[in-house]
């Protein structure tokens, strides 16, 4: 990122009287031609993750993704997210002096989603919950994936290291592995880049959902429609 302190034209000319005059628009255009963009600083925890394990996992998942497109193995990325009845702040084109506004006077309501992105076809297996997502809700979705009618010889479910992703009984893990050939794969810590389902959540919250405030009654219905549309009505690029 290139910090840019704005100064008036007269100030710039006083500092360098021989320098040619130019506008910030010209500077911005020139930087874009050099494939640069003006971005906010992003906090990163990359230094806290194990680099060797991260690289090995990334390489293995890259091969699994290619194979999953051919139907072997089944590859799912599982995660949780929450959706509110009041939309997140968004940028949008609007007439001057008439910015978009969302009704923030209503009480905030939430719907939690347990989702699993099917890498083969881009669809989202999901369950909605009006309360906090717990371990049994995660296990229930994994069990549905394990018991699906059309399944590959091997199914991999990729998860991060959230507390509710651990502690599933060994009996349940053995059943998934022996009876349904399903295995859980936990990512290295601090590795959100290896979870493409994060892109689904971002797209759903900031680009796909309607910019409108929903009532409590509308919330479940609208989020359900949104989740069902992933991979069919809504095409998301993971490149």
- DSSP, residue by residue, 210-233: -SSPPPHHHHHHHHHHHHHHBTTT
Q: pLDDT per residue over 33-75, tens digit each?
A: 887 776 666 667 788 889 999 999 999 999 999 999 998 899 9
Domains in the chain, start-ordered, CATH in brackets?
50-229 (3.30.420.10)
* In contact, 164 and 135? CB cutoff 8 Å: yes
pTM of the model: 0.78
Give the residue with greater pLDDT, 41 vs 199. 199
Q: In the Cβ-directed half-sphere of 24, how many Cα atoms lie within 13 Å?
A: 8
Residue 143 and residue 5: Cα distance in Å, rounded? 55
- pLDDT surpasses 90 at 214: no
What distance in Å separates the CA atoms of residue 173 and residue 225, rounded to the nearest whole number? 32
d(CA 189, CA 47): 11
């Amino acid at each position: 990122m290139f910090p840019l302190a704005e100064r008036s034209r007269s100030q710039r000319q006083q500092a360098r009287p021989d320098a040619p005059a130019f506008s910030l628009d010209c500077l911005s255009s020139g930087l874009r031609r050099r494939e640069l963009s003006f971005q906010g600083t992003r906090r990163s925890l990359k230094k806290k993750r194990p680099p060797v394990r991260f690289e090995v996992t990334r390489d293995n998942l890259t091969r699994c993704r290619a194979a999953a497109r051919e139907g072997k193995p089944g590859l799912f990325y599982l995660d949780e997210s929450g959706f509110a009845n009041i939309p997140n702040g968004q940028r949008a084109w609007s007439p001057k002096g008439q910015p978009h506004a969302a009704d923030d006077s209503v009480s905030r309501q939430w719907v939690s989603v347990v989702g699993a992105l099917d890498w083969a076809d881009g669809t989202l297996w999901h369950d909605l919950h009006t309360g906090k997502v717990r371990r049994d809700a995660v296990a229930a979705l994994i069990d549905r994936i394990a018991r699906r009618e059309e399944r590959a010889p091997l199914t991999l479910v990729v998860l991060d290291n959230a507390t509710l992703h651990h502690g599933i009984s060994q009996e349940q893990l053995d059943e998934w592995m022996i009876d349904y050939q399903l295995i859980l794969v936990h990512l290295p810590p601090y590795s959100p880049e290896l979870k493409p389902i994060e892109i689904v959540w971002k797209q759903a919250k900031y680009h796909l959902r309607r910019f409108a405030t929903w009532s409590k009654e509308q919330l479940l219905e609208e989020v359900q429609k949104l989740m069902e549309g992933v991979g069919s009505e809504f095409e998301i690029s993971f490149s």
